[in-house]
Structure 1
């Protein structure tokens, strides 16, 4: 059974991250082909101005408004980074505003 890169739960069997994958195009390029465009590659960690990590497609964020200089992001994070993310194990953005540091995960994205 295929497991999620973020949460390691089975896709379709407990992994809520798979909801983002359903909006992906069949090309595998990471770009959405639906009207709900997700401009970030699958697996990206988005970092808000408040230091909260989100996933693309977060229900309470508009992906079209996520851009530098307000936001930063990590496009190819270590698959375990999402679970390690905390005040004791922060993550610094590698793209966008690289001064952004996430110290906690969005509760909606983490569910």
Structure 2
């Protein structure tokens, strides 16, 4: 297997497929997630921080089971520690979230589905 094939990254979580990516295949039923009280507590990022992946997905600290705090580092990631009210809800192609810290060239145009479900 070539190095490029080994390092193919998931569009949703940006983890290497087969080495940390727990996202379901397209059309598959998502895996059950741990209860919120069993998820890792995040120390560096307040809960309302918008985390921005290299694949233009927005995440929230601790809201999804496939992302851990130690993976969110520049230059791969950017973040917005104090987002404008309603930015998460408006986020999209016409209203991207632009990182203010970390890698400030990162822009999110889509929300992580698991993070969004955690807000419901």
**Distance in 1 of aligned mates of 2:101 and 2:47:** 15
Q: Please tell me whether residue 49 in structure 1 is matched to residue 54 in structure 2.
A: yes
Distance 1:78 1:47 in 2: 15
Q: What is residue 107 of structure 2 aligned with on the other side? A: 101
- Tell me the residue number matched to 1:69: 75
Task: Give the secondary structure class of the aligned counterpart of 1:76.
Answer: coil
Structure whose alpha-carbon radius of gyration is higher: 2
Structure 2 portions without partners, runs of 5+: 1-35
Which of 88, 91, 95 is the equivalent residue of 2:97? Answer: 91
- The TM-score normalised by the length of structure 2 is 0.62
Q: TM-score, normalised by structure 1?
A: 0.67
Compute the RMSD of aligned alpha carbons: 1.7
Deviations 1:26-85 (A, max 9, x none): xxxxxxxxx934020121000000000000012111111101000000000012000000
1:66-109: per-residue Cα shift (whole Å, max 9, x none)? 01000000000012000000011111100000000000000000
Structure 2 distance, partners of 1:60, 1:51, is: 16
Q: After the TM superposition, which segments of 4 or more aligned residues of structure 1 sit over 3 Å from their partners?
A: none
Count residues with an aligned counterpart.
Answer: 80
